[in-house]
Amino acid sequence: MKRIVFIPLSLIVSIIFLTGCFNFGDGFKIPLGDGESVTIGGGDDDEIINISFEGEEGSVNLSSDGESFKYEGEDGKVTVHRDLPEDFPADVPIPEDIDPVGNFITEFEDDTLTGYTLSYAIAEDRFDEVRSLYENYLADNNYSITNKSEASGDAGNGFEVEAEKGNRKFSILMYGDTNGQFIMLHVAEEK
């Protein structure tokens, strides 16, 4: 009988002791050998998931707050948003009634650029409307066109333009067929 009580009691005391010895707010660090480790938890209070990998080559952090997913590494950072972030450039027009595609909006930053990539789809009959929207935006805001191409045929139609104004880079790629049009918009600022 003493043994039956002693074992669970010892286990409870050990767990209480161990939780007091570790600060799980800093995450739970697991050594992987050769100076490498993975840390689970320990991120910002609003993060649901936070995983960090550390090694001789550098470190990588993956985190999510439920509204976005973030990757941070030695070469920069990328955040995938479910909704248009508040700091998306307000002057860049976004058509109404768009259907998000894939990662909808990706925010990126590296040593040379910071910006966004937005992917969405529209109905095939809106191709000319959306193309005009962006051509007018570039003309009205004095962008310099650095590359422009278009194609049309039985397989569908496409349009691409690259432009810049000061430190801002802008590009749009539109392509599709009678099933719909895919648009990828890229806007960035040079550092």
Residue 86 sits in the same domain as residue 65: no
Q: How confident is the model at residue 108, as a pLDDT?
A: 93
DSSP of 112-132, one letter per residue?
SEEEEEEEEEE-GGGHHHHHH
Rounded mean pLDDT, 104-118: 92
pTM higher than the cut 0.85:
no
pLDDT over 70 at 116, yes or no: yes
pLDDT over 80 at 147, yes or no: yes
Categorize the per-residue pLDDT at 89 as very low, low, confident or very high, splitting at 50, 70 and 90: very high
CATH label of the domain that carries residue 109:
3.40.1000
Domain boundary among 50, 72, 94: 72
Residue 84 sits in the same domain as residue 48: no
Q: Give percent above pLDDT 70 in the chain.
A: 74
Residue 188 sits in the same domain as residue 112: yes
pLDDT over 80 at 25, yes or no: no
Residue span of the structural domain in which 54 resides: 23-72
Angle at 30 between CA 27 and CA 31, to 5 degrees: 135
